[in-house]
Amino acid sequence: MDLKCVIIDDEPLAIKVIKNYVNQTKGLTLMASFNDATESLEYLRNNEIDLLFLDINMPLLDGLNLLKSIHQKPLTIITTAHEEFAVESYELEVVDYLVKPIPFQRFITAVNKAFRIKGYQEKDNYITPNKRPYIFLKIDKKKMQKIYLDEILSVESLGDYIKVNTLTNNHIVHQTLSNFTDDLPSDKFIRIHRSYTISIDKIESIEGNSIEIANIRYPIGRSYLSEVRSAIFKE
């Protein structure tokens, strides 16, 4: 049986990262996500939750005080940009404490702790990171950086270079946008402009001739409109 999960974080991009990781992990089912801790209280009181991914610094009600207010606490994994609350968090018997940006491998380690507490067998309940499609980017003369395809948000042309924007970081690479796009799976990525290629499943909204991803709007070039509509709306 899957662990029923809830995400509480006031940053939309942080929620997107954890959602993506949950969807990649066998044995987890996302039940709900909230960007306001106060709005989550009623849901947590009225629903049985196995695992909570919880941010700390949030307006009105922070994550630690929310956790203190829950009578029957679910297993909790803290997801925060701040290291200084670790001791206090562990006093509340959290499963693990993850500092943003959170690598997928670190996420898996934390989730496996929850599986063990629940008595699940690890081998039956998770997908290891190396099963996810990835590429290597040469980000300087000596370093090759592994990038998982499902973490790429967009790719921007910078002349003879490109900027690869991911869920957790950005990378400048000496390569043309055309060549890079050709190496990406066409069912997952599409060129929308002479300067932009985007991940189809990261699209949040479409308005007029622009696409929004992670609160950034990208223009759709006039000559790309037909192909973009076909890829997104399956027209």
pLDDT digits (tens, 9 = 90+) for 182-232: 989 988 999 999 999 999 989 989 998 999 998 899 999 999 999 998 888
Closest CA relative to residue 156, chosen from 106, 124, 185, 191: 191
- Which superfamily does 3-129 belong to? Response regulator (3.40.50.2300)
C-alpha span between 208 and 101 (Å, rounded): 32
Its CATH architecture, for the domain 133-233, is Beta Barrel (2.40)
pLDDT in tens, 27-42: 899 999 999 999 999 9
For 156, the 3-state DSSP assignment is: strand
Q: Domain ranges in the chain?
A: 3-129, 133-233
- State the burial class of residue 210 (Cβ atoms within 10 Å of its Cβ: 0-12, 13-18, 19+): middle
Mean pLDDT of the chain: 89
Which residues make Cβ contacts (< 8 Å) with residue 179, sequence separation at least 6?
Answer: none
At position 189, the amino acid (one-letter code) is F
Closest CA relative to residue 183, chosen from 132, 114, 231, 136: 136
Task: Decide if pLDDT at 137 tops 60.
Answer: yes
How far is Cα of residue 39 from the mean position of the Cα atoms in its chain? 21
Closest CA relative to residue 177, chosen from 169, 188, 187, 189: 189
Query: How many percent of the chain have pLDDT more than 70?
Result: 94
With cut-offs at 50, 70 and 90, classify the pLDDT of residue 123.
very low
Could you tell me the pTM of the whole model?
0.66
Number of Cβ within 10 Å of residue 197's Cβ equals 23
Cα angle 97, 102, 108 (rounded to 5 degrees) comes to 75
